[in-house]
A and B are shown apart, each in its own frame.
Chain A
Amino acid sequence: MMPLSEICDLLSCKVFCCEELLDREIKYGCASDLMSDVLAYSRSGAVLLTGLANVQTIHTAFISEIYAVVFVRGRVPDERMIEVAITKKIPLLGTALSLYEASGILYSKGLASTMETLATVTRHE
């Protein structure tokens, strides 16, 4: 568990909306540009780190009960995304860091992964 305000500091984030919700407790970290994976494998209460900035990112976050979204590599949400996020009470943040760096920082500070590690890697035939 980690307050969103700490994530904001660790990743030197800019806050695009819902600043009043930075005291939200984040349970897990989730990093993906693939919304299908977020829908299939995330758990309620995660922060989503992503390079995918479109309105589907916000809908996916709302549906999956993602508590906040951090856009990586300087991606900026547009006005419509911010409007939807405010309605759905999902804080949107942005960092200049890459997905790899941002995830590494949060993981090293003890934020657990929302996705379970697979037992084995199997090849699809």
Chain B
Amino acid sequence: MNKSFTQTFTVSGNNFSDAGKISTEIKMILKQLGINSDIVRRVAIASYESEMNVVMYACKAKIVLDVDPEVIKIIVEDEGPGIPDIELTMKEGYSTATPEMRELGFGAGMGLPNIKKNSDEFTIKSDVGKGTRLEIIVYIN
């Protein structure tokens, strides 16, 4: 893979019927770029967990996929309530999910820890009342 690639997607909060569509698209793009399947799987899982978080908790978000020959970067920037205690939400099992979210098989408090687990570098910043920004980096080699 020696080309660079960038694409921006928009996700709407509370749109449960389309939840996951963008991450499946991201996965297909990465496969088409010929990236190793283990790397593609890790990026897709991190992206999907992020997308579900936007659908469940935020108003809307911009997801930017940026691929260069060495690094895959995903930035998720949402407009939403923000996270008051990031340290707490990074703990497995901590969740503020509603019954509707749980019916979809999500909201078990695994999302953010799983995004971190699948990233080589992960940063999260949040402003309460404004929104949250995630930066996910996975090295290709």
The chain A residues found within 8 Å of chain B, CB to CB, are 33-40, 44, 52, 54-57, 59-60, 62-65, 88, 124
Contacts and interface: CB of A to CB of B under 8 A. Distances in A.
A64 B45 contact: yes
Contacts of A40: 110, 113-114, 117
B10 interface: no
Contacts of A55: 17, 20
B41 A36 contact: no
Main SS at interface, chain A: helix
Interface string B33-67: 00001100100110011000000000000000000
Nearest to B114: A40
A112 to B, nearest CB: 19
Contacts of B113: 40
Given A44-B41, A54-B104, A60-B105, A39 B17 contact: no
A36 B105 contact: yes
Contacts of B21: 59
B27 interface: yes
Q: Please list the 4 inter-chain residue pairs (A to B) with the smallest Cβ-Cβ separation, ordered nearest first.
A: A35-B105, A59-B20, A36-B110, A36-B108
B106 interface: yes
Nearest to A54: B104
B23 interface: yes
25 contacts: A36-B106, A37-B110, A38-B105, A39-B45, A39-B49, A40-B113, A44-B41, A54-B104, A54-B105, A55-B17, A56-B105, A59-B19, A59-B20, A59-B21, A59-B48, A60-B20, A60-B48, A62-B24, A62-B27, A63-B23, A63-B24, A63-B41, A63-B45, A64-B45, A65-B37
